[in-house]
Structure 1
């Protein structure tokens, strides 16, 4: 996954000189390659969509329910950590940005947290999760906690990430008029 920290755009679909949003899911290949390719593409599109936007421009833009671009990125990081590291791998001692008192806490991002920081954290979480995926011998492997196959979890993560990438499209357009599905558009 590219390094999304300290994003700067040159208008070419690049962040820090790294072209993003161009991961293409394999048109031919095995199921694992195809599914993980789609997940990576959605991650890249999330980072591309908000990576070169200013915090000042993005932060005040929200849906009627209060969902913000910052909250969405932090939510996606927490979702990958939850499904792959907690549910699938059974990793102990993980922390999440939600609590029983605030089940949507990951969406409530403190104002001092920048999008660059969130994208760097998201990229690092994706690297950790990708290592778990790579270490699993089969998409049929069953999670340690609860009863889900790796296949189901990965498809759910593609669904979740794509859904929120769509939200980011709308929030970014409202923030500064930026539109597009891919940096190549």
Structure 2
């Protein structure tokens, strides 16, 4: 898949979400880190690669850090297709310390209110993460910043675009120091009943 496909895919996600949430509004959005390689047409330096073994060959494709069906390849009659959906984008660090740990600050992509902070690395597959609610009219949109080394905001805090929400890290499931990154998602809240449903369905 090409850089154009990934860039268009990300833009389509944003456009779809924002078209009905904030019609007629001019929004000020920004990237969450100092990594600008995507804008310089260097996607391999922007998206964090994944480890892939397919048909006996190992690789580190940057495409696995993009949005959509980008992981777990399977050969079909129509050719090779990815079968696992990635809900966000994984952004590489641009700074590391002498031990290889990411040093990048992670910033809010827009004005909003912090609605959740997971400060425990073992509390979720996302590791330590922050969720920010953005009110752009017609309902909230949530941005999520995952796999942080640390969070620097508190629930209920109102913050401007560009405010530092934490330090990039590699907390959470399946991530090591080499693949330290921030996972960025945009989410729409459709129901407040998920926890009750999950407990009933899975008896947790």
One fold, TM greater than 0.5? no
Structure with greater proportional helix content: 1
Q: Name which one, 1 or 2, has greater alpha-carbon Rg.
A: 2
Structure-1-length-normalised TM-score? 0.27
Higher relative contact order (CA 8 A, sep 6+): 1
Structure-2-length-normalised TM-score? 0.25
